[in-house]
Structure 1
Amino acid sequence: MKRPAVAALGGGHGLFASLEALRLVTDKITAIVTVADDGGSSGRLREEYDILPPGDLRMALAALCDNSQWGIAWRDALQHRFPGEGPLGGHALGNLLIAGLWDSLGDPIQGLDMVGRLLSARGRVLPMSLQPLRIDAKVRGADPADPDGVREVSGQVAVAQTPGTVLNLRLFPDPPQPCREAIDAVLDADWVILGPGSWFTSVMPHLLVPDLLDALVQTKAKRMLTLNVQMDTGETSGFSASDHLEVLAAHAPALHLDAILADPGVVGDDARAREALESSAAALGASVVYKPVADQESAGVHDTLRLATAYRDVMESAARAQARRRA
């Protein structure tokens, strides 16, 4: 199999896991990263300088670093976080470097490309939008005292931490300004991979950028969705694996998928849960591929080598099927 061009969409630790695995499969990777984070170091820099939140972009760059002494040294430097309660306390060095390059160059894409060259990154990192975005969500039961009440929750951190059930999302500004390079990467890809990651704050936001969603619908690439290895956690408390797919379908009804990659543990021995997941996948045009991708020692985490093997197997199987049809 030739090395495929892959566009990987997400944010935070989920995208980091996907990119670490993909770099073992191909060196033609474009990470397209959500830019709605408003917490921690990213939130502070965003508020003070009115810039894109750099944290998830930094993590994607670190995941793609070259596996050499040089690349690893710079990856570790990028991820270094200053201790203490002073002005630098809590800031990641990479966030400051990226913010400084943006300030001096006046071009976020050029700044990210410069950091990529510094790391000898095996791929490119792009924001999904050229504007810092805000996530707003309608949530049922956000106030524990009113479990049936629906109100709007604003901001990535607030949505991620809400005790209620997220009903729908929107982004502000609406519509967001897309990143043209990211759209081109989706249209030029052989594979587009969504997830894993926090469903409402890392995965779903990409579908709320109209031009990016249009590219996801129109691309000739195969589309794979990577499910988390744990359901019913955090902002998706109470959600089954099939619920995750139904939420995606509700927000992007025109989007067709080819494969849903799922660890068998997401349905376990529950025949009804398996049937529901496969039915929801079929409604999206996809088949479910069950592969053991969970880290056996760390709950809720993907194992890099297992995930890389799963990505390779799904891509090779699709390539063989395409070759048979051509023959």
Structure 2
Amino acid sequence: MYRPAVTAFGGGHGLAVSLRALRRITDRITAVVTVADNGGSSGRLREEFDCLPPGDLRRALAALCADDFVGRTWAQVLQARFRGSGVLAGHAIGNLLIAGLWQELGDPVAGLDMVGQLLGTRGRVLPMALTPLDIAAEVVGLDPLQPDETYTLTGQSTVAKTRAEVIKVRLDPPDPPACPTVLEAIAASDVVVLGPGSWFTSVMPHLLVPQIVEAIMDSHATKILTLNVAGADETDGFSPARHLEVIAEHEPRIRFDVVLADRSFAGSDSHLESFAHNLGARIVEADLAMRDGSARHDPLRLASAYADIMGVRIR
């Protein structure tokens, strides 16, 4: 049975749910993860060891663990955190495992591949770049007394939590080189998936790496942009069309074949189709949200939508 080679871009919980969906379709998955996290356990390890932040990479590895007892156990162990009040308190076990392998091997890609082999993951996890990056954002509305004043916020954890309106994000240093293995994965892909996830801090950073954008544009893969099921956090109040507008404002050259949107969220926006057309894409609407009404994707529903777009069956 045909199983497409898929490269999925994102970070955090959004990428994790996309990977849980994709692993029901194929085991030829490459997850490409942002490397700008500076908060929590990842931020502490990044500062102490001058390494990539491992947290979002860990989540991606956990999402690709097999859906059997061993796989679920490993995923749980990776995500578990040390308790107590000592120096290890709050660190995720998986973060320490990854950082330790990086220290011993001196190669981020080799370290992640070794963790993947240990866990028996269905796919591969790669960092977007081989050096840690920072995110800076221009925002308005930070000061209620000066609602039109523009401010700059620095750091992914700060940007992700702001209640101000994010206008634009950039990477520091700008135009970083991509991980070479990521470019190889894009070139070999049948399908490229961007999103869902925190729009400015998990999705957008990939489009701020020129080599990644150029590789995607040169690829003959089917390109899917997966929208969130609601505007929330960084994009609170954003319509579906506004999400697409933000993409175009940051990288006007990028084009997609499909914009995948939750039926309920997409139905609220009469401008979505025209904005998608401007990106070269058609709209595919489906019921993607969890049945409990929360603003999260249901992995099974998302898998079904991906399978329909790719013309394959869920295994």
What TM-score do the two structures reach when normalised by structure 2? 0.97
- The CA deviation at 1:69 is 2.6
Aligned 8 A contact 2:6 2:191 in 1: yes
Residue matched to 2:244: 245
- CA distance, structure 1, for counterparts of residue 210 and residue 255 of structure 2: 16
Residue matched to 2:171: 171
Q: Deviations over 1:264-307 (max 9, x none)?
A: 11134x4xx1x201110000010110010110115011111111
- 1:313 lines up with 2:312 in the alignment: no
Aligned 8 A contact 2:15 2:195 in 1: yes
1:290 to 240, 261, 285: 285
Residue matched to 1:152: 152
- 1:128 lines up with 2:143 in the alignment: no
Residue matched to 1:117: 117
Q: Deviations over 1:226-269 (max 9, x none)?
A: 111112x111122111000000011111111000111111134x
Equivalent residue letter for 1:201? T
**Superposition pairs for residues 114-263 of structure 1, below 5 Å?**
114-231=114-231, 233-263=232-262
Aligned 8 A contact 1:66 1:122 in 2: yes
Aligned 8 A contact 2:266 2:285 in 1: no
- 1:303 lines up with 2:298 in the alignment: yes
Q: State the secondary structure of the residue aligned to 1:97.
A: helix
Residue matched to 2:57: 57
- CA distance, structure 2, for counterparts of residue 306 and residue 162 of structure 1: 30
- CA distance, structure 2, for counterparts of residue 313 and residue 175 of structure 1: 35
- CA distance, structure 1, for counterparts of residue 144 and residue 53 of structure 2: 30
Evaluate the alpha carbon distance shift between residue 11 and residue 218 of structure 1 in structure 2; reply closer, same or farther with a 3 A threshold.
Answer: same
- CA distance, structure 2, for counterparts of residue 212 and residue 234 of structure 1: 26
- 1:85 lines up with 2:80 in the alignment: no
Q: State the secondary structure of the residue aligned to 2:271.
A: helix
Consecutive unaligned residues in structure 1, runs of 5 or more: 318-327
Q: Output the aligned Cα RMSD.
A: 1.2
- 1:267 lines up with 2:266 in the alignment: yes
- CA distance, structure 2, for counterparts of residue 74 and residue 164 of structure 1: 38
- CA distance, structure 1, for counterparts of residue 194 and residue 134 of structure 2: 20
Equivalent residue letter for 2:8? A
- CA distance, structure 2, for counterparts of residue 278 and residue 84 of structure 1: 51
Q: Deviations over 1:91-134 (max 9, x none)?
A: 10000000000001111100000000011011000000001100
Q: Which moved more, 1:17-26 or 1:135-144?
A: 135-144
- CA distance, structure 2, for counterparts of residue 217 and residue 192 of structure 1: 11
Q: State the secondary structure of the residue aligned to 2:146.
A: coil
- CA distance, structure 2, for counterparts of residue 88 and residue 295 of structure 1: 34
Equivalent residue letter for 2:294? A
- 1:99 lines up with 2:94 in the alignment: no
Q: State the secondary structure of the residue aligned to 2:125.
A: strand
- The CA deviation at 1:168 is 1.1
Residue matched to 2:3: 3
Aligned 8 A contact 1:144 1:163 in 2: no
- CA distance, structure 1, for counterparts of residue 48 and residue 145 of structure 2: 35
- CA distance, structure 1, for counterparts of residue 168 and residue 242 of structure 2: 13
- CA distance, structure 1, for counterparts of residue 307 and residue 86 of structure 2: 46
- The CA deviation at 1:73 is 1.9
- CA distance, structure 2, for counterparts of residue 126 and residue 307 of structure 1: 22
- CA distance, structure 1, for counterparts of residue 266 and residue 7 of structure 2: 27
- CA distance, structure 2, for counterparts of residue 309 and residue 154 of structure 1: 38
Aligned 8 A contact 1:14 1:196 in 2: yes
Aligned 8 A contact 1:4 1:190 in 2: yes
- CA distance, structure 1, for counterparts of residue 77 and residue 242 of structure 2: 39
- CA distance, structure 2, for counterparts of residue 160 and residue 144 of structure 1: 19
Aligned 8 A contact 1:171 1:205 in 2: yes
